[in-house]
Each structure stands twice: as structure tokens, then as C-alpha cells.
A and B are shown apart, each in its own frame.
Chain A
Amino acid sequence: MRISRRNFLHGMTVSAGTLWSSRVTGLGNLAGRPIDCVVFDLKSDCVLRESLRGYQAAFAEEHHHLAADRVDSRWRCRTVIVPGLGMMDPAIGRMLLDLVQKGTRLVLESGAGFLSIEETAAHQRMLLRCFDLEVAPPVDLWSGRLADEGLIASRSSPNRRKAIDGRQSIPYVRYVWPRETLVRDFTRVIPVSAKPGEVIGWAGSLAVGSRRPAGKGSLIFLGSPLGPALQASDPEARSWLHSVLAP
């Protein structure tokens, strides 16, 4: 998937997107009181739309659909989740950082796993510039492991046969904060540089999730998308997300 310069500029100059808000545990509402959780739709800069839908599904019971122009750094908001992040308007990045400084927990979920090399480089630069997050290009966890290719190839081309590779893999990201949980990987992960105590998720030996304090709030980075697992009704993914959102 390519993010064109035109789309990028559109994202910078038009709207910040749409907000979904959820009161997970009966906390405040949008009428002046603190908002508990907001799922932030970056529109064309959200490069994994199914991830956004996953978060919306996870919060299906209680949510509000807010207009983009209501996004405001004066808000008091416990958690902001940015699903499937590709690029981000620097102004939005600054606004989100303002929120973090005042106490918001910001969850940035990278959607860069399937971007082109150029787009990934832009994604890396954006994360470093806006959030001081240093991430690596995507790592394909399944490269060379597709035991199913034999069947599929034989089906689509009757004359070609491949031996099935019987190697086993462990297809999970292991989260270690706020509690130990295994959630399905999403084929490609974005490794993140973090101090040992800040790593919250591992794909094998790769750190793919981090959490660090910032101002009165904190910044959580997810290098393996959680939203698709949420949309697939993965109970561990939902339960882990709710643990993250707990006060």
C-alpha cells in the first residue's frame, strides 16, 4: 500500500479524522468531564482499517462518535488509541503529545508492516520526530515457514508439487505488561528500541511493544497490530486491552 504525497498533504491540511470514545468502566463522558478512552481514526493515514474496526468492535457496547474538530489538546482524556498508524500530521502529533504531558496514556499501534520500503522509512522518521520512538523496518515472522504453500500451489497449478514443510512456529506475541498474555502475531512486526524495563511485548527475541513515561502520562507503542485480533474476537486480546486501559 502506498501513501501518496497527495494523501499525506490531505491528512495534514484537512481533518484529523474521527474519534470514537468508550467508557470502559463507567468513567466520565464527553460533556466536559474527563473522557476515559478515545480511538483515533486517522482516515487515510490509518493504513490498517480492519484494526480500527477491531478496536471499535472491542468497545461496541459504549462509544461515542465525535467530529474531528472536537479533538483538542485542552481535553482531559485518560487513554487515546491510534490504530493502524501509517503517517501522522505533525500538528496532530503535537496535540497528542500535549495530551500525554497532561496525563493521557497514548497507545500508538503501528500499521507499517505492509508498507513499501519508502513508506516505512517515512513512518520511522515520523515516529522518531514526533514521539522520539526509534523503530526498525518490518520483520517477517513467517518468511520461509509457510507449510501451507504446498497445498495451495498444488491446487492452483496441478502439475507443480511441493513438499510440505513440517517446521512448527509459535505464532504469538508475548505481552508481559500489564500482565502476561499471548496474542496472535500479524505476520510482520515492527521492532522498537526500548530500555529493558520498558519492553512490554516480544515476538521471539524481538521487542515489539514498549511503554515509557512521558510527562504526567505515558506512551505505549505496539509494533504488532492488536486490532485484527480484536476484530476476530480473540478473548486474550480483548482482555489484555482492557487491562491496559484499567485505571
Chain B
Amino acid sequence: MKKSIGDNMIPKGWSFEQGLELVKKAGYDGIELWLGEVPWFQMNTTDAQVTELRRKVENAGLLVSNVSTGLHWKTPLSARDPSVRAQAIRIVERELETAQLLGCDAILVVTGLVTQEIPYNEVYQRCLDAMRQLAPVAARARVKIGCENCNSEQRFLLTPREFWTFLNEVDSPSVGIHLDVGNIHDTGFAEQWIEIHGPRITRIHLKDVMKKRGRCCDTVYTSLFIGDNNWPAIRAALTKVRYDGWLIAEMEARYRYAEDQQFYDTAADIDRLISGRL
């Protein structure tokens, strides 16, 4: 397995190049690029500029593990307004295009948001339609779409079997799951999600979660090994399903001080996870 971390973790005020140097020094193999969340990688970043980002990543001795985006929180594929949905589709298409340019084969997509206003069945149907529309585009690009399980925030595809059914209905090898082991909270167990989805897992996001805190004003997420995830079970499940892909740190709770130290600490944690010394 290979280690990666998001470029949205790079401390504010640092350049992309400085961030890459830190990521490399901390021992990662790659970097996850977040479309729309960092100044150097926006929707209007040109192909030439994206190619230049790739050159910088490779010059730093790294690879691009995947392309992700948080833009769908504001522009969801499940929106009722057709023009918003069209924008959301365009975001996924741009992720696919840039993934090709960056030499990686997976993107992250937040599929849909169930809200008080927009009910589950509507969201399900629109996300299904969107993924069926995008699957051939992904296949042509040879890039896999990983639908992220954002269980608590999305209120969508809340159980692993439900997620499995959704992927079955999409029915494309180009659409799988970007599994975040920290997002399952107290509605299940990450190791069971790993078991059930096995070969459909495109990438894995790592973070820990404090299940009993609930989600109100403070984040429930925390650094690896100090939350409630059962990490030995997660490691065993990864072995069971022979997952050998990227493990990507997504530390939503950031260090308040010495931000660069979080890169080193998290890399060391991931090394321990990979080694199984837990």
C-alpha cells in the first residue's frame, strides 16, 4: 500500500512547491489534489497549468494518488435546479480530465445530499442518473469514479449493503467507492465496509472518529489511533480483501500549532497501520 495526503492540508500561505517538499520529507509516496480547494488547482486552471502541476509533483519524487473535490457540497449532483446539476456534472468531468493529465486513475465524488428539502428518493434517482451518465466518460478516460461514503453529512447510502445496491444499479466497473473509514461514525464498522466492497474500493481515506461525540459544533474527526475506529480490524479487513492501493490521509481536525508536524505524525501512523504493528 502507498501513502498519500491531500494538498488541502498544506498550511495556508505555503506554496505548492513548499508543500510538495514537506509531503516528500514526511515520507509520503503521493499527493491527493483537491480541485477547487487550493489556489493552484481550480476549475479554471488550464490543461497546461495542470500538466505543470504534474511536473512539479514528479520532480518532487511523488505521484498524484487521485483527484478529489469538495465542490459538490455546494453544487450537488442531487440539486433540484437543472442548471446546478449541469455544473455538478461538469465538475466531475473536469476531475476526470485532470486525473488523466495528472497520470492517476481515480477521482473522488460526493454523490448527493439528502436534506430536509430534498428527500432521499429524489437524491437516489438523480445520483443514479448522474453516475450512469458519467460512467462511460470515466471508462473512456480510464479513470475510476469513487463515490465517497459521507454517511453522516450526506444522509445518503448509509449502510454498506445500500451502497452496494446503488453500485449494482449503476452497473459499471468505472464507478466504485472511495471509502472513508472515518465517516462511518456509530452507524457501522469500517472493517465491514471494506469486506463488503473489496474490489470496488477505488481509494481509502484515513482518519479516526470519536463516535460518541455526535456531530454538532465540533468535529468528531481526529488523528489516527486516538478515536474509536478499530484499527486492527480495519488492517485485517484490508488484508482479507487484498487491498493494495493508496491510503490517503484526510485529517479534518488540523493541528492548531506546528501544522507541518501533522504531516510527519500522520505518515508515521500510516506506516504503523501498513506494518500491522497495532
Residues of A within 8 A of B (CB): 1, 47-50, 113-114, 142, 145-148, 151-152, 154-156, 158, 161, 163-164, 169, 171, 184, 186-187, 228-229, 231-234
Contact = CB atoms under 8 A, between A and B. Distances in A.
Most chain A CB within 10 A, of B81, B117, B121, B152, is at B117
Contacts of A231: 122, 125
A114 B80 contact: yes
19 contacts: A1-B82, A48-B82, A50-B82, A145-B116, A148-B115, A148-B116, A148-B117, A151-B152, A151-B153, A152-B153, A155-B70, A155-B150, A155-B153, A158-B219, A184-B119, A184-B122, A187-B80, A231-B125, A232-B121
A114 B153 CA distance: 25
A31 B219 CA distance: 65
A232 B74 CA distance: 22
A234 B150 contact: no
A107 to B, nearest CB: 20
Interface string B77-101: 0001111000000000000000000
Contacts of B121: 232-234
Contacts of B117: 142, 145-146, 148, 171, 187
B161 interface: no
B115 A146 contact: yes
B113 A47 contact: no
Interface string B104-148: 000000000101111101101110010000000000000000000
A152 B73 contact: yes
Chain B interface bracket (under 10, 10 to 19, 20 to 34, 35 or more)? 20 to 34
A164 B74 CA distance: 17
B125 A161 contact: no
A113 B254 CA distance: 41
Interface string B212-245: 0001110100000000000000000000000000
By secondary structure, the B interface counts as loop
A148 B124 CA distance: 18
Contacts of A154: 219
B169 interface: no
Given A151-B153, A152-B153, A158-B219, A232 B119 contact: yes
A214 B43 CA distance: 52
A105 B237 CA distance: 60
Nearest to A233: B121
Nearest to A231: B125
A93 B81 CA distance: 26
A151 B152 CA distance: 9
Contacts of A163: 217
A54 to B, nearest CB: 9
A114 B118 CA distance: 15
B17 interface: no
A1 B84 CA distance: 9
Nearest to B110: A155
A14 to B, nearest CB: 21
B116 A169 contact: yes
A49 B125 contact: no
Contacts of B70: 155-156
Contacts of B126: 50
Contacts of A171: 116-117, 119
Contacts of B153: 151-152, 155
A44 B218 CA distance: 46
B252 interface: yes
Interface string B242-278: 0000000000111000000000000000000000000
B75 to A, nearest CB: 10
Nearest to B76: A152
A1 B115 contact: no
Contacts of B124: 232
Interface in B56-73: 70, 73
B80 A186 contact: yes
A114 B84 CA distance: 10
A232 B254 contact: no
B113 A152 contact: yes
B116 to A, nearest CB: 6
Interface string B28-50: 00000000000000000000000
Given A47-B82, A49-B82, A151 B215 contact: yes
Contacts of A232: 119, 121-122, 124-125
A161 B216 CA distance: 9
A158 B254 contact: yes
Contacts of B215: 151
